[in-house]
Chains A and B, each alone.
Chain A
Amino acid sequence: MTEKKFTDDLPRIYGLYTLGFLAFTGLMAVLEQFGVSAATIGVLFVGFTIVIYAVIGWLSRTMQVDAYYVAGREVPPVFNGMATAADWMSGASFVALAGGIYFGGYGYLAFVIGWTGGYVLVNSLMAPYLRKFGCYTVPDFIGTRYGGNLTRFCAVVILVVASFTYVTAQINATGTIASRVLFIPFEVGVWFGLLGILLCSMLGGMRGVTWTQVAQYIVLIIAYLVPVIWMSYAQGFGFPHFNYGEAAQRIQELEPVVGLGTAATESFPGTRILTTPHFDASDPADQWKFATLALCMMAGTASLPHILMRYFTTPTVRGARKSVAWSLFFIFLLYFTAPALATLTKLQLLDPELPTAVIGRAYEEVQSLAWIQNWSAVGFLNISDSNGDGILQLNEFFMRPDIVVLATPEIAGLPYVISGLVAAGGMAAAMSTADGLLLAIANALSHDLYYKIIDPKADTRTRLIVARILLVVIGAGGATVASLQLTGILGAVAWAFCFACSGLFFPLVLGVWWKRANRPGALAGMVFGFLAGSGYLYYVFSMGGEPIFGLDHLRFGIVGMSVSFVAMVVVTLLTEAPDAETQAMVDRTRIPTGDTILGQAH
């Protein structure tokens, strides 16, 4: 079977795969009816999907540089869009986003706007030009555009810090799900998750990751949409996305009735009560927080190497643009569902007219509900009749934000097969992102640090072996850090975006859009931006300093980017313009057709 044939066959292959997955889900539903235990179904779901990914990883094995780094540049735009969407949507998007909206209201929706709007920047400022450049990695662009090993090295450092911060959060998420579903300790779950991740990426590099990510996208989107749509119909709202307006309005009516904002009189570590209104954008301080967070997430999106490198895999520049459009479309499917999920779940708990309501119901009755007992048993949920009136109030209902997605099927009384499906989806989301990130780090180290700086004479075989050894070493490092559980899933994710935009956003954008930008300027932009951002993070987070202009540790990218921009422009203007050759290279980058700037298999 030739390569050409393979890409032509993709719609059929993935069509069959989707049908197969749905049939498997149906089979699980049947088994549940025959009395197979919930635990077994969970194990089968997660085990079956991981085996499929591993098989795809094995089939994609390669010893060619182009296939390993950029999947042979033959990925059709729609499939690259799906792969990017899986690469992009992490355990945080899948597990934590809806819960965040549930608890955080307006302020949290900045993540939704930021993580979608960023693609407009990717498409208009970056992707087509980086594709034309023909690089293998993001530091490859920086190193060639500005020249010199030092610029390349700085880009590698920023990439590694940003991506490593992110990947530990993902390995943490795979460990959490694996330990819950497979009944193994978290520390073991982390290594189990890593094994699954490496099975996808080690043999086939970017090619293996691409084709497993497409498969993972299909699993995760089915797992996200099915429960929401089912729940919405079961509750009589009809198709959720267009019909939850009334639910949102009803929540706003109920908020004063159920006493939203009354402080809790007790506390349980790790869980919290709902205090933020569902949607209130009136406070200027909240608006400022919204804007700064959204900006950090958008600029971070456009600077994160594991996303940008996905657009190096298309056959053409036009293909790269098309895949950005498809990426955002596939991401959009999940992101415009999350607020619907958060709203419907909240209404089910609050609205006394619905049978699922718990707030305002007799305390003993709530205590006897199966889902309350299940989640209380693992400490993810707590109820306590603080005022002793025998009724559960809103400030007596404590929940961990990230269980909203996982518990929704149970709250709505859906069969357990749906919970198994959701676990498989969460696993797919976390694994696919971890894969992309690990590969981005290992590729930057093997290609930019080892091959371009340390040993430019290395042969293909050595390069690819070094790349794989690095993949395993970095993965093991990530798993070790993850098993220490230093930060929550979401904190680490926001930091990764801030690190990336502090150091890389302006050097990347201005590299294409400002011909005058030169090496000293880029170096200053990367070094000062990254140091300023990191220093500020240390100040507000570790030293407990007072945030300046309300910029807390989730928003340190604003500080980093501002310093980066000023430093880059000032230093560039104070030093000599780049030579004619470099300027001509920028001109060629802007022309969508013709040979890439960097030759084939450089």
Chain B
Amino acid sequence: MENGLSERERKHWSRTATLNWIVLLLWFVFAFVIPLNANELNAYEFLGFPLGYYMVVQGSLFAFVSLIFIQNWIQDGIDSSAGYNEE
């Protein structure tokens, strides 16, 4: 690899970056948007919990865990389709 990127590298990185932006957006929603509006969400109920409270004590945490597993699963696909396979 001299100066500049090959087409394959460019495409791999742009897909990686796009995935990252989507993940960060969802992260922002679960980390900030939902907890800051918890009182409004408390008007609803979920599993016997007020919804806003539920999201802060369990829902968002669950979302973070899932988000990382799903991101990695998609990223593995992006890597493989660019031919970056680990032996």
Chain B, range 30-65, C-beta contacts under 8 Å to A: 30-32, 35-39, 42, 45-50, 52-54, 56-58, 60-62, 64-65
Does A580 reach chain B (CB closer than 8 Å)?
Answer: yes
| Closest-CB distance, A441 to chain B (whole angstroms) | 28
Partner of B68, one of A120, A244, A279, A590: A120
A248 in contact with B49 given A116-B61, A325-B65, A584-B1 (CB within 8 Å): yes
Does A324 reach chain B (CB closer than 8 Å)?
Answer: yes
A246 in contact with B27 given A112-B57, A120-B68, A336-B57 (CB within 8 Å): no
Chain A residue, CB-CB nearest to B24: A124
**Are A279 and B53 in contact (CB-based, < 8 A)?**
yes
Q: What's the Cα separation between A55 and B50 when bound, in Å?
A: 48
Does B9 reach chain A (CB closer than 8 Å)?
Answer: yes
Report A281-314 CB contacts with B as 1/0, cut-off 8 Å: 1100001001100110010000000000000000
**Are A321 and B75 in contact (CB-based, < 8 A)?**
yes
**Are A119 and B38 in contact (CB-based, < 8 A)?**
no
**Are A245 and B48 in contact (CB-based, < 8 A)?**
yes
Chain B residue, CB-CB nearest to A123: B68
Does A588 reach chain B (CB closer than 8 Å)?
Answer: yes
**Are A324 and B56 in contact (CB-based, < 8 A)?**
no
Does A6 reach chain B (CB closer than 8 Å)?
Answer: no
Q: What's the Cα separation between A235 and B38 when bound, in Å?
A: 28
Report A322-349 CB contacts with B as 1/0, cut-off 8 Å: 1011001100100110011000000000
Instruction: Return chain B residues, CB-CB under 8 Å to A295.
Output: 32
| Closest-CB distance, A586 to chain B (whole angstroms) | 10
Q: What's the Cα separation between A557 and B48 when bound, in Å?
A: 37
Instruction: Return chain B residues, CB-CB under 8 Å to A294.
Output: 31-32, 35
Q: What's the Cα separation between A339 and B61 when bound, in Å?
A: 12
**Are A243 and B27 in contact (CB-based, < 8 A)?**
no
Does A117 reach chain B (CB closer than 8 Å)?
Answer: yes
Q: What's the Cα separation between A248 and B60 when bound, in Å?
A: 18
**Are A592 and B36 in contact (CB-based, < 8 A)?**
no
Q: What's the Cα separation between A242 and B12 when bound, in Å?
A: 41
Does A280 reach chain B (CB closer than 8 Å)?
Answer: yes
**Are B1 and A112 in contact (CB-based, < 8 A)?**
no
**Are B68 and A106 in contact (CB-based, < 8 A)?**
no
A248 in contact with B53 given A242-B47, A281-B36, A294-B31 (CB within 8 Å): yes
**Are A124 and B71 in contact (CB-based, < 8 A)?**
yes
Instruction: Return chain A residues, CB-CB under 8 Å to B24.
Output: 120, 124
Does A374 reach chain B (CB closer than 8 Å)?
Answer: no
Chain B binding surface SS class: helix
Chain A binding surface SS class: helix
Q: What's the Cα separation between A248 and B46 when bound, in Å?
A: 13
Partner of B13, one of A116, A298, A335, A590: A590
| Closest-CB distance, B68 to chain A (whole angstroms) | 4
**Are A335 and B36 in contact (CB-based, < 8 A)?**
no
Partner of A109, one of B30, B57, B76, B85: B57
| Closest-CB distance, B81 to chain A (whole angstroms) | 12
| Closest-CB distance, A319 to chain B (whole angstroms) | 8
Q: What's the Cα separation between A241 and B49 when bound, in Å?
A: 11
Does A510 reach chain B (CB closer than 8 Å)?
Answer: no
**Are B61 and A112 in contact (CB-based, < 8 A)?**
yes
Instruction: Return chain B residues, CB-CB under 8 Å to A575.
Output: none
Q: Which of the listed residues B1, B32, B58 has the most CB atoms from chain A within 10 Å of its own CB?
A: B58
Partner of A117, one of B1, B60, B79: B60
Q: What's the Cα separation between A474 and B49 when bound, in Å?
A: 47
Q: What's the Cα separation between A279 and B64 when bound, in Å?
A: 21
| Closest-CB distance, A384 to chain B (whole angstroms) | 32
Instruction: Return chain B residues, CB-CB under 8 Å to A328.
Output: 64-65, 68
Does A318 reach chain B (CB closer than 8 Å)?
Answer: yes
Instruction: Return chain A residues, CB-CB under 8 Å to B64.
Output: 116-117, 119-120, 328, 332
Chain B residue, CB-CB nearest to A317: B86
Instruction: Return chain B residues, CB-CB under 8 Å to A335.
Output: 61
A587 in contact with B57 given A120-B23, A290-B35, A318-B76 (CB within 8 Å): no
Chain A residue, CB-CB nearest to B30: A117
Does A591 reach chain B (CB closer than 8 Å)?
Answer: yes
Q: What's the Cα separation between A119 and B62 when bound, in Å?
A: 12
Chain B residue, CB-CB nearest to A330: B65
**Are A339 and B57 in contact (CB-based, < 8 A)?**
yes
| Closest-CB distance, A323 to chain B (whole angstroms) | 10
Does A222 reach chain B (CB closer than 8 Å)?
Answer: no
Interface residues in chain A, defined as those with a beta carbon under 8 Å from any beta carbon in chain B: 106, 109-110, 112-114, 116-117, 119-121, 123-125, 241-246, 248-249, 279-282, 287, 290-291, 294-295, 298, 316-318, 321-322, 324-325, 328-329, 332, 335-336, 339-340, 580, 584, 587-588, 590-593
Query: Nearest 7 pairs between A and B by C-beta?
Result: A245-B49, A245-B48, A339-B57, A281-B38, A117-B31, A593-B84, A120-B27
Could you list some 13 contacts between A and B, CB below 8 A? Answer: A117-B31, A123-B71, A279-B42, A279-B50, A281-B42, A316-B86, A318-B76, A318-B79, A328-B64, A332-B61, A336-B58, A584-B3, A587-B13
Instruction: Given contacts A123-B71, A325-B72, list 5 more A-B pairs with CB under 8 A.
Output: A120-B27, A241-B58, A248-B53, A298-B31, A592-B79
Interface residues in chain B, defined as those with a beta carbon under 8 Å from any beta carbon in chain A: 1, 3, 5, 9, 12-13, 16, 20, 23-24, 27, 30-32, 35-39, 42, 45-50, 52-54, 56-58, 60-62, 64-65, 67-69, 71-72, 75-76, 79, 84-86
